[in-house]
Structures are given as structure tokens and as C-alpha cells.
């Protein structure tokens, strides 16, 4: 019976130590994230999460259908509206089709 109790005691302390290490790692990670000033987890006085400035707005290329971040997309003003493209090739293809349609009336 003594051997069985030793095994149970060993398993109990193994669980306690591993749980303590996991809590310590989580606490240290939480403190490091707080010290870095991560804007994704910023909260106001009421504890409500604030929006981050790093959120990107995606636009869709009308030629190939690719979604591109608005900051890196190639813009073309067409009939009073702004159209975004993923590459100069898509922009030129769109402009060529628009010219053909305008020529055909």
C-alpha cells in the first residue's frame, strides 16, 4: 500500500507543479503584452475594447476578383468613382475594355 500512496502523491505534486508553471507562464506573457502596449488589446476606462489603427479595408479588383488592401491597391478614377486594382495589368485591361465600350457607343 505504501508504494501505491507514493505514486498517488507523486502524480498529485506533478499536477500541482505543472499547473503552477502554466499559470506563471500565462502571467508573464500577460505582463509582457501589457508592457509592449499592444493596440489590439487596448481598452478604455469602461473596459470596452477600442478599435485598432492597424485594421485594413479590403477592396475587390473588378477584373480578376482579387481582394487587395486599399493602401496598396492601384486606384483609377472612372466616371466619378474610384476603382481599385491589384496590378497594373488588371488596370490596363479594365481601361482597355472601358475604351472599347465607349467606342462602340
Q: What is the pLDDT of residue 37?
A: 57
Counting Cα atoms < 13 Å in the Cβ hemisphere of 53 gives 2
More confident residue, 85 or 53: 85
Per-residue pLDDT tens digits for 11-66: 999 999 999 999 999 999 888 887 665 555 555 555 555 555 567 788 999 899 88
Per-residue pLDDT tens digits for 1-10: 799 999 999 9
Which residues partner with 83 through β-bridges?
76
Residue 60 CB partners (closer than 8 Å, separation 6+):
66, 67, 68, 84
Q: The pTM is what?
A: 0.44
Give the start-to-end residue ranges of the domains of the chain. Answer: 2-41, 58-104
Q: What is the pLDDT of residue 9?
A: 95
Q: Name the 3-class secondary structure at 16.
A: helix
Residue 13 CB partners (closer than 8 Å, separation 6+):
none
Amino acid at each position: 500500500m505504501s508504494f501505491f500512496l507514493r505514486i498517488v502523491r507523486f502524480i498529485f505534486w506533478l499536477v500541482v507543479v505543472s499547473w503552477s508553471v502554466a499559470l506563471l507562464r500565462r502571467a508573464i506573457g500577460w505582463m509582457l503584452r501589457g508592457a509592449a502596449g499592444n493596440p489590439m488589446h487596448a481598452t478604455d476606462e469602461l473596459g470596452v475594447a477600442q478599435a485598432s489603427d492597424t485594421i485594413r479595408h479590403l477592396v475587390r479588383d473588378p477584373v480578376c476578383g482579387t481582394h487587395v488592401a486599399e493602401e496598396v491597391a492601384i486606384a483609377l478614377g472612372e466616371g466619378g468613382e474610384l476603382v481599385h486594382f491589384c496590378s497594373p495589368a488588371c488596370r490596363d485591361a479594365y481601361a482597355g475594355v472601358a475604351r472599347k465600350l465607349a467606342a462602340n457607343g
